[in-house]
Amino acid sequence: MPVARPPAAALPFRHRVRVYWEDTDAGGVVFYANYLRFFERARTEWLRAQGVEQQRLREASGAIFIVGEAALRFLAPARLDDALEVTAHVSEFGRATMSFEQQAWRGDSLLCDARIRVAAVDAASLRPCRLPPAITALLPR
């Protein structure tokens, strides 16, 4: 069943990804785990678009992000040379976590959607810490 693409205003960030040989499996389609890489890139580029570089954030606050949960739903395959648009939208956040709704599109076809929860942790101890102010400033109040 086709999925209706949300209006542009409902998707706050989009990142373009091209499918390379290294992204595909023996069947010539994107290997399922590579969607996690695409989604990671989109979250990183979302931060960069907001003026937050993760290495500088680590140096300033001591915080890094780790994925705590990921749930993906695969709807259609992507293939070699496909141009994909990968979205990232913060759907929930707490003191130390953010949940993202993410999607991978080829044109008007939704290929994969995901809900990914990331946690802020202290880089040295890997213990949970509060989201740095540079991040909380980006979140809706």
Q: pLDDT by residue (tens digit) across 51-107?
A: 999 999 999 999 999 999 999 999 999 999 999 999 999 999 999 999 999 999 999
Distance CA 31, CA 64 (A): 27
Per-residue pLDDT of 13-61, as tens digits, reads 999 999 999 999 999 999 999 999 999 999 999 999 999 999 999 999 9
Structural domains of the chain ordered from first start? 11-136 (3.10.129.10)
Provide the annotated active-site residues: 25
